[in-house]
């Protein structure tokens, strides 16, 4: 895998690198990051050839956007693709999810109405200091299908028609509703988190074949399933909760098979999604320049086809 290779999203003019940087950790996910380290992380990604960056208002309740924006604003705008998300408005008040270690005094409120989507986009651009996003995702509309697939999606299509975004998308931790969005014919790509990984291939049952058929690109995120595939051990997290013994055992078996082929498990985890033709890019989150450099190294490790074959033969992947 060449992490700096550029590919087109769907039938749009938006191009992304095979490896993208997910910016959630820069919002202080579980542990504080700080302004200086966040900026250095984005800079290191740029130095290493990454030209696709993904963020959301939710990440650090605005912190990730505020931290990444000034760095990217100093780069040639035509040279990178940037995505953010709509569906949550940040409003004054405490509360919200307790996974963010650095308080902002704001809390996210769901709103997938047309007005909410347009307001969210405007406020994101203000936090970022950028004039547009290349991709705009409807973010976690699980409990809001009617409003998101109606008002929200039409609002995104309107932004695309006006040239204010390049691609319409939805980003979720589940595959079935993303397939429903694809069937509307209005999305150019989808962001699938944690559902086409070495531990969970449920996205391949319906969503990925549908995307391949419809010419809709998939951006794969959550490829470590929140930690277990990065460092399989008792106490590691799987989908943001402690992993059970059976999952840890399976992750260790994956690592053993990878090591027989001289491939680190992290490298296989990053590159596995790209074995499906519908997947255009893989997003990996990082909170430091060192983590970015490791992700690029892992994305560059040669992975023999025999590894995937052995994993299938062992029943470790479908």
pLDDT digits (tens, 9 = 90+) for 203-232: 999 999 999 999 999 999 999 999 999 999
Q: Do residues 80 and 14 lie in contact, with contact meaning Cβ atoms separated by under 8 Å?
A: no
The conformation of residue 100, written as its DSSP 8-state character, comes to: B
Are 187 and 166 in contact by the 8 Å Cβ rule? The answer is no
Phi and psi at 21, nearest 5°, equal -105, 120
Is 6-313 in CATH node 3.20.20.100?
A: yes
Give the residue among 8, 104, 27, 13 at the shortest CA–CA distance from 69: 27
Question: Which residues have a catalytic role annotated?
Answer: 54, 59, 85
Q: Looking at residue 93, what is its pLDDT? A: 87
pLDDT of the residue at 45: 98
Measured CA angle at 65 (ends 59, 69), to 5 deg: 155
Please state, in angstroms and as integers, the Cα–Cα distance from residue 106 to each residue in 57, 60, 81, 99, 143, following that order: 10, 9, 27, 14, 22
Q: Where are the extended beta strands (E) located within the chain?
A: 6-8, 15-17, 19-22, 52-54, 81-86, 88-92, 106-110, 135-139, 167-172, 189-193, 217-221, 237-238, 241-242, 279-285
Structure tokens at 118: 């347009």
Reference 63, options 124, 109, 111; nearest CA is: 124
Beta bridge partners of 285: 22
Cα-based distances in Å from 132 to 93, 121, 185: 27, 9, 23
Across the 318 residues of the chain, what is the mean pLDDT of every consecutive 10-residue run? 97 98 96 97 98 98 98 98 98 81 94 98 98 98 98 98 98 98 98 98 98 98 96 93 96 98 98 98 98 98 98 96
Q: Which residues is 237 bridged to in the sheet?
A: 242
The domain locations on the chain are: 6-313
> Which pLDDT belongs to residue 95?
63
The pLDDT, as a whole number, for residue 230 is: 96
């Amino acid at each position: 895998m060449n992490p700096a290779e550029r590919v087109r999203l769907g039938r749009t003019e938006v191009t992304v690198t095979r490896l993208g940087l997910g910016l959630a950790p820069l919002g202080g996910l579980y542990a504080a990051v700080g302004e200086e380290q966040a900026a250095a992380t984005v800079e290191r990604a740029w130095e290493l050839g990454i030209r696709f960056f993904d963020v959301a208002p939710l990440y650090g309740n605005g912190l990730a956007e505020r931290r990444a924006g000034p760095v990217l604003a100093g780069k040639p705008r035509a040279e990178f693709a940037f995505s953010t998300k709509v569906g949550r408005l940040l409003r004054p008040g405490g509360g919200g999810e307790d996974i963010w270690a650095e308080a902002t005094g704001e809390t996210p409120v769901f709103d997938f109405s047309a007005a909410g989507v347009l307001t969210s986009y405007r406020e994101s651009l203000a936090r970022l200091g950028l004039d547009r996003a290349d991709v705009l995702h409807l973010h976690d509309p699980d409990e809001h299908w009617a409003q998101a697939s109606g008002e929200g999606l039409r609002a995104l299509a309107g932004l695309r028609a006006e040239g204010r975004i390049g691609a319409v998308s939805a980003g979720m931790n589940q595959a079935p509703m993303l397939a429903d969005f694809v069937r509307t014919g209005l999305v150019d790509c989808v962001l699938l988190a944690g559902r086409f990984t070495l531990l969970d291939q449920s996205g391949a049952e319906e969503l990925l074949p549908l995307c391949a058929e419809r010419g809709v690109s998939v951006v794969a995120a959550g490829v470590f399933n929140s930690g277990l595939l990065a460092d399989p051990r008792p106490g590691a997290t799987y989908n943001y909760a402690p992993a059970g013994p059976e999952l840890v055992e399976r992750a260790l078996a994956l690592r053993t098979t990878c090591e027989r082929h001289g491939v680190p498990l992290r490298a296989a985890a990053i590159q596995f999604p790209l074995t499906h033709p519908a997947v255009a890019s893989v997003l990996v989150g990082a909170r430091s320049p060192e983590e970015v450099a490791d992700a690029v190294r892992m994305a560059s490790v040669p992975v023999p086809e025999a590894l995937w074959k052995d994993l299938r033969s062992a029943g470790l992947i479908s």
